[in-house]
Chains A and B, each alone.
Chain A
Amino acid sequence: MNFNLIYESFFQILKGLGTSLEIIFLSLMLGLILSIFIVIMRLSKNMALNTFSRSFVFVIRGTPLLVQIYFIYYGLAQFPAVRDSIVWIVLKEPFWCGVLALTINTAAYTSEIIRSGLNSIIKGQIESATAFGMTKFMAFKRILLPQAIRQSIPAYSNEIILMIKASSLVSIITIMEMTGIARKIISKTFAPIEVFIAAGIIYLILNYLVTEIFKKIEKRYSIV
């Protein structure tokens, strides 16, 4: 075991932290927004919207993320119609393909988290809120939403950790984030164990930080 190499590659891989964080942050934010629309569709009485939302979540949760990344990166680029259209500006960049795949993936999982958060609230609460003269929107804003957010925080912190881990997959479509840089170093040094240990340490630190931050948030929003 060459500790010097672990130390050196640690700082080299750290240069990819920016790209990794960009991908993680962008897809989490976009995914959260998308997931809210999916939940609204799921809760709507419109059959078409409901079925669409259900099948979206079913397909995304039932297939590996790698399939989704390949599908967006290779599958869509196959059609000349796609290459000539305006979406090609986004799809020709591996970076945006990665962000798009991760966004869609996390949106499906997050929508289930939000939905179960909403479901966990007893219906009587909404009824009593309306009995007290609150409008539907007011009851949603003051009663339903704060409780749903509190319910969802632990599961969402898990989802963030899953996304940090999933972001390593975009290295396969040539994006030079942390795992991508690690692979590049290996192809030069032929020392896989040391380099992957260095990369693993960075991911562990990242996940540890997320866990700690969310422990604080959970404490702040808990009722007890």
Chain B
Amino acid sequence: MELLSFGDTGWGDEMLRACFMTLAVSLCAMAFGLVLAIPFVLMKLSQSWILKTFANFFTTIVRGIPELLIIYLFFFGSSAAIMYVASIFGYDGYIEINAFLVGAFCVGIICAAYSTEVLRGAVKAIPKGQIEASHAFGIRGSRMLFGVMIPQTLRIALPGIGNIWQLVLKDTALISVTGLVEIMRQAHVASGSTRNPFLFLVTAAILYLILTTISNKFFQKAETKYSKGFV
């Protein structure tokens, strides 16, 4: 048990710091993914077949390729690409991209692909009559968008977004392969140096369970709050 104590002798504070790192990467990835999803939702809902095909192409590919492969592709690929550019300017050393940025970017892209589907479904779930009704009341354009469409879309999409958040939280474990010190990486390092992988992997599992359970409760509260008045 003293292996998990705080301070210089134990790994407790390191594990806790890694837990915050996981949370930070997940939040960044989720924010980036949700923002990135918006243009793709608009493309999927648009009339133009080019935009529709492009958006479908994006979501199909990202959802059809293993997450690990996407992370490898961007982590190794981006440093290869930057080193290529640097070599043009006469720099031949090894350049490594910040693991946090690449990790948040990759998981963000995965999150965007799934969120696009969830948000598109939510927009489609709003009855068309409401748009007609708001037109009849003279509510148009951005007032209709912010007053009628977006609040309802968010309410309908909330359970789906909660699921995606769980997915993001768990996908960040894969970023450990790039060397970013989040829960999984820290557990791996600690097990290596203490020769006690069992203890640290159980700790990692418990930390993940705490994160998922708390966020589950949070989303449940939000759902009941925003579905007031709806059956």
Contacts and interface: CB of A to CB of B under 8 A. Distances in A.
Nearest to B204: A67
Contacts of B85: none
B197 A75 contact: yes
A63 B69 contact: no
A164 B68 CA distance: 12
B211 to A, nearest CB: 8
Given A67-B208, A193-B77, A78 B72 contact: no
Contacts of A74: 191, 197, 201
Which bucket holds chain A's interface residue count? 35 or more
B170 A207 contact: no
Nearest to B76: A192
Q: Say which size band chain B's interface belongs to.
A: 35 or more
A62 B167 CA distance: 10
Contacts of A70: 184, 187-188, 197, 201
Contacts of B177: 172
A186 B191 CA distance: 28
Interface string B63-106: 01111110011001100110000000000000000000000000
A26 interface: no
Contact of B64 (A183, A196, A207): A207
B51 interface: no
Interface string B194-211: 011110011011001100
A190 B61 CA distance: 24
A9 B72 CA distance: 16
Contact of A179 (B69, B204, B205, B209): B69
Nearest to B169: A64
Interface stretch (A35-43, A133-141, A198-206): A198-206
B18 interface: no
Nearest to B198: A75
Interface in A166-181: 166-169, 171-172, 179
A121 interface: no
Contacts, number: 114
B69 A71 contact: no
Contacts of B184: 64, 66-67, 70
A70 B191 CA distance: 11
A200 B170 contact: no
B69 A67 contact: no
Interface string A81-122: 000000000000000000000000000000000000000000
A74 B77 CA distance: 29
Nearest to B79: A192
A169 B177 CA distance: 11
B212 interface: yes
Most buried by A among B61, B81, B201, B213: B201
Nearest to A71: B201
A155 interface: no
A83 to B, nearest CB: 13
A194 B201 CA distance: 34
Contact of A204 (B65, B72, B170): B65
Contacts of A171: 68
Given A66-B176, A75-B198, A192-B73, A166 B208 contact: no
A214 to B, nearest CB: 14
A64 B61 CA distance: 22
A59 interface: yes
A174 B195 CA distance: 19
Given A66-B173, A70-B197, A200 B205 contact: no
A165 interface: yes
B66 A166 contact: yes
Contact of A203 (B66, B188, B201, B213): B66
A67 B173 contact: yes
B197 A66 contact: no
Contacts of A165: 64-67
B198 A204 contact: no
B157 interface: no
Interface of B: 60-61, 64-69, 72-73, 76-77, 80-81, 170-171, 173-174, 176-177, 184, 187-188, 191, 195-198, 201-202, 204-205, 208-209, 212-213
